[in-house]
Amino acid sequence: MNKTIIAVVIATVVLTGGYFFFKDVDRSTPEVSEPSSQQPITQSSASEPSTSEQPPQQPQASQAPAVKENVVTFTNSGYSPSILTVKKDETVTFKNQSSRSMWPASAMHPTHRAYSNTSLDEHCPDTTGIAFDACKGFLPSQSWSFTFNQVGTWKYHDHLSSSNTGVIVVE
């Protein structure tokens, strides 16, 4: 009987601790959601009673245009797509869907000088947002975003596994 009580107490402590440890893990990096083009836009007339508790949606002309989402996914096989073309001042989000950490950084390894012409030691931490370098690893399910404001072809790699590479073409 005594052993059963001790086992129940230990299991309760472990489960409670695990809950508090993991409950905030996904809140550290906000997810970028893609707007759905599948949802119909409806407008009810003033004479029709509303059947839902939500206010009627505005006509599409007054809604903000859909924003193109530029995503590079990092898996255990590397970056995909390996080449991504974007417009100047567009943001690319690097999503880690691998089983290990990722650290996207401008070529060449290990200095990361290609985009900002400053070395890893000079621009990390990147408080100004000018270096195409995450300056740290991101755990699985986390993401990192960078806005490209220089036109060109920018090679990059995973600093933690430099054989994983890709290219961002900025027009």
- CB hemisphere CA count around 97 (13 angstroms): 13
Q: Which pLDDT belongs to residue 166?
A: 95
* CATH class of domain segment(s) 70-170: mainly beta
Give mean pLDDT, residues 57-84. Answer: 78
For residue 110, give the amino acid letter. P
- Tell me how far apart the alpha carbons of residues 97 and 83 are, in angstroms, rounded to a whole number: 18
pLDDT for residue 86: 96
Domain ranges for the chain, please list them.
70-170
pLDDT of residue 68: 72
State residue 18's pLDDT score: 59
Mean of the per-residue pLDDT values for the chain?
77
Mean pLDDT over 112-132 rounds to 82
Spatial distance between the Cα atoms of 109 and 162, rounded to a whole number of angstroms: 7
Q: Residue 118 is encoded by which pair of tokens?
A: 């400053």
Q: Are strands 90-96 and 143-148 parallel, antiparallel or unpaired?
A: antiparallel
Four-point Cα dihedral 121, 134, 111, 163, nearest 10: 150
115 touches 150 (CB < 8 A)? yes
